[in-house]
Amino acid sequence: MEELVGGQAVIEGVMLRKGRKIAIAVRKPDGKIVTKSFGFRFISDKLSFLKFPIFRGVVAFFEALIIGIKTLNWSASQQVEEDEKETMGWALTATILISLLFAILLFVLLPYGLTYLLGLKETANPILFNFVDGIIKLIILIVYILAISLISDVRRIFQYHGAEHKVVNCYEAKDSFDNVKKYGTIHLRCGTSFLLAVIFVGVIILSFIPVIIFYYYPTLKEAFWLERYGILFLLRLLALPIIAGISYELLKFSARHQNRATKIIAFPGLLVQRLTTKEPDEKQIEVALVALKSLK
């Protein structure tokens, strides 16, 4: 089976990944396109059980995070003078780490707290609680995307995101790169769709946590509220890798098996992708094509 191509937009460029090879193409302030290619060794090469379903999704999530930070650092360093690169790298790394913490607060803690403020209790009705929690997460995600899309630099990243999808769609159609402009900016395996899958799968998985915990540890219901809810919230965080693993399998299955059911599953993610991708210009498509050609 031919290896799939995936990637992400970086600062003024595109990163693409195929198997163990990664290629980045970035346009510098002087207009020149620079590239970097490197190999990536999978954790599952050493631990074969990590290639099994669910496990491979968890691994893919953390690998994507590591590669994403590394490629963002490199792309940012191409936008500054040589003597500023080291400072820029540390600053961007710190920014990314702070952003990850902010994401946990915004998309995990805030919805959790707001759901309680609405008068719902996870201990009393976990299914309804997590359904409302999921709806709040979705609303926050959409509002957040709409808000940051007003920033010009973010809008350019969304354009490069669209360029990435165009060249991958063209490549997978085995069409000439001369026709890349006709392809759409939406792709089934996009990370945006993954985020939506995480929200929906999370509603199901997280609904079972209180039921299981209180079944085996009924005394927790009588514990001090801070202890009780602190433990439940911690378990939600610990469940995130499992949710990510299941979401990965769901997204992968829907991309490979196109039918009415999988199209319904994929539809919300494709809808939100219209917010995270914008139509790129010719120069941005050129950068994405250079990244793709660097994979070969």
Of the two residues 262 and 294, the one the predictor is more confident about is: 294
Specify the length of the chain in residues: 296
**Which of the 8 DSSP states describes residue 4?**
P
Tokens coding 182: 């006709």
Does residue 98 carry a pLDDT above 80? Answer: yes
- Residue 191 in contact with residue 8, Cβ under 8 Å? yes
pLDDT tens per residue across span 40-81: 877 766 777 777 777 888 888 888 888 888 888 889 888 877
pTM of the model: 0.86
Residue 46's SS3 state is coil
Alpha-carbon gap, residue 114 to 100, rounded angstroms? 20
Of the two residues 183 and 90, the one the predictor is more confident about is: 183
Alpha-carbon gap, residue 269 to 196, rounded angstroms? 6
- Residue 78 in contact with residue 24, Cβ under 8 Å? no
pLDDT tens per residue across span 221-236: 888 878 888 888 889 8
Range in 20-24, 43-47, 148-152 with the lowest mean pLDDT: 43-47
Share of residues in the chain with pLDDT > 70 (%) = 93
Per-domain residue ranges of the chain? 5-293
Question: Residues 263-271: what's their mean pLDDT?
Answer: 84
pLDDT tens per residue across span 152-198: 999 999 999 999 999 999 999 999 999 999 999 999 888 888 888 88
Beta strand spans in 232-284 (E): none
Beta strand spans in the chain (E): 5-10, 13-18, 21-27, 33-39
